[in-house]
A and B are shown apart, each in its own frame.
Chain A
Amino acid sequence: MLSLNEVWFVLVAVLFIGFFFLEGFDFGVGMSTQLLAKSDTERRVLINSIGPFWDANEVWLLTAGGAMFAAFPNWYATLFSGFYIPLVFLLLALIGRGVAFEFRGKVENTRWKKVWDGAIFTGSVLPPFLLGVVFACLIQGLPINEAMEMHAGFFDIVNAYTVVGGLTMTLLCLLHGLMFTTLRTTSDLQERARSMARKLLLPVAGLFAAFGVMTYFMTDVFERRGGLIAVLLGLALLAFLLGGYFMSLKRDGWAFGMTGAVIALTVTSVFAGLFPRVMISSISQSFDLTIYNAASGPYSLKVMTIVAVTLLPFVLGYQIWSYFVFHKRVHEKEHLEY
C-alpha cells in the first residue's frame, strides 16, 4: 500500500502531467498563431480551436500549486520563494495571454490585434520554457540550506542543462499543438500544420537526446532509479517514433496521442527521478526536501485524500464531456468567438 505521502506525491505529479499534456497543446497552438497562421482569419481559427479548453487546462497548473500548498507546504514555500523572478515572468506571461484571448477580437483594428497577438505568442512560449527550466533545476539540485530555504544565483537557475530542458519542453509543446491543429482544422491550415510538425521531428529528437545525455552525466537520477527511467525514456522514444510514423500516415488522432505520450512520459521520468525527494539540495543531501519532511500532517493528508477522491471523477467527467461537445472541426465560415 502507498502511504498518504506517496499518494500525494503521485497526485501532484499527475496534475503536472495533466497540465503539460493539456495546456501543452494549447501553448503549442498559441505559438502556431505566429509560426503557422498566414492571415488574421487563420489566427482566429487557431485561437477558436482552443477557445473552449485553454482556461480549464490552465486550472491544472493552479490545482497542482494548490495541492502542493496543502499536501507539501514546505515544497510550495521553498519552490515559490526560491524561483521568485522566473515566476514573476511566468505570471506576466499567463496574465497577458489570458486576457489577450478575450480582448483581441473585441476591437476591429489591426494594431490592437497585433498587440494582443504578441501577448498570445509570448504567453505561449514563455511558460513551457520557464517551467522546463524549473523542472530541469529540480532534478539538477539547488542550493537549499538547513532551514529549507533556497538561495539560488542566476547560474543555478540558468545554465546549459536547464536551458536545454526549457527548449525541449517548448518544442515538444509546439509539436503537440501542431498535432492538435491537424485535428481541429481543415484544408490548407491542417496540411501546413502536418508538414511543419514533420519538419520539427528532427530538431525535437536532437534536443531530447541532448537533454537525456546531459541528465545522465549531470544529475544523480540514473544512479538512483536508472532502470525505471530507462524504461520510461525508452517508451517516450517509442512514442516519438510512432508519432512520426502516424504523421506520415496522416493518422492525426494517433499522432496527437503519441506527442502527448512523449510529454507525459518525460514529466513522469522527472518525478520518478526525484522520488522520494521533492527538491534536491546541492549543499548537502541531508537538506533535501522529501515527501516526508515537506509534507502536511497525517490528518490533513487524510482529509485532502477523501476530498480529492470524491471530486476527481466529476472533474474528469465534465472535462472529457466538454471535449466531446466541441469535437467538430473549426471552420472559418462559422461564427468565430475570439
Chain B
Amino acid sequence: MNRFLIYLILINTLTNMVSITPRILIAGGNTGTVLGMAFAISTGIVLTYFLVILFSRFPGQGLPEILKAYTPKWFAVPVLLFMAAAWYVAGLFTLMIYTFIILRFLTPEMSIYTIVLTFALVVTYGVLMATRNIIYMSEVIFILVVPFIVFVQMKGYLDPSLNWDYIRIALMQVNQLPDYGAFTSSLFIVIGTANLVIFNRAFTTLKKPTLKGMAILTVAFMYILATTYLLPIGFGGFDSLENALYPWIMTSDSIRMKFGVVERIVFIFIGSFLALGVVSMIIHWHVSIHLFSSVFQLKRLKWKSYNLTLPLFIVFFWIVAMTLTKRMTVEGLYRTVEMYDDFVLPAMLILLVGSLLLAKKGASSKWRENKK
C-alpha cells in the first residue's frame, strides 16, 4: 500500500478529532457510542479495502475520467456534481469549526471575516497546487505535526488527574444498541480513502492493499477513535460532558505541563491541529474543485491562454464560505454536521462504490468489444 495514501487517510482521521465529531460521540454516550464506533471501524476498513482495489483497476485516473469513459453521461454528471458538493461541504465544515475555535480561544477580538479570509487565502494557494504536490505537502505537515499531537495525548494518558473509572463507565455502555449518529460520524473519520476520487490521478501505480497496510490502518483507526471519545471523558467526566461545545479543547486545556515552556498545553494543541485542518481543507476543496471543473469547463473564459474556470470556482467557494460562516451558529453547525453524517455520507459512499462497480463492468464489456 502506498504510504501517501495512508497519510491521506490519517489526516482526515486526525483533523476530525477536535471538530464536531467528539461532541456527537459524547452525545450518544448513553446510547451505544462504543458499539457504533466498533461497527464504524470494521465498516471503514472493509470499505477502504474495496475502494483501494476498485481504484487500482484504473491507475492514474480520477473518478471523472472513469465515469466519463465507462458510464452514460446522464449518470456521470449528477454523480460528479453531488460528490463535488459533498466534498466542498466537508471542507467548509472544517473551515467553520476552526474559525469558531480561533474566535473563541485564540483571538476573541478578531473579525470573523479576517479569520475566514486568512484561511481562504492559504487554502486557495494549496487547492491550486498540482495533485501530486498536495500529497507531498501532506506528508511534510503530517510528519511535522503528528509528534506534537501524540505528545499531548501521551501526556494526557499519563496524567494522574485522568480518572480511568470514567473511561470504564463509558466502555461499560457496550451493552447498548449502537447509535446511528455515532456510527456515521465515526465512519466519516475513517473513510479518508474516498479522497481517491481525485487523488487517484497521482497514484499511477496504486498497489493492492497489503496486510501490513491494513493492519496499520486498523490500529491507527482504533487508537484515534478511542482517544477522540475516551480521553475527554477521562478528564471531563461521563455525565458532565454533554453540554461541552468543544470537548477536545477543554481536554487539552485540562492537561498540565508542569515544567513546560507553557503550562497550558492547549495552545500547542490548537496550533498543531490548525496545521492539519488547513491540509484537510486543501484536500477536500481540491477534490471538490476538480470534480466541479470536470463537469463545467468553460472553454471561452480565458485570460490570455490561462483558463479561468478554477479561479472562478475558488471565488465562488470563498463567497459561500464567508456568508455561511458569518451566519452559522455553533449549534446550527452541529446540527448540519449531524445531518451530513447521517444522510449525505452514506448516500455518497453507496454512490461511490456503486458507480465504481458499474464502471468496472463497463470497462470489462468495452474491453471485450475491443477484443472482438
Asked if A and B are interacting partners, one says no
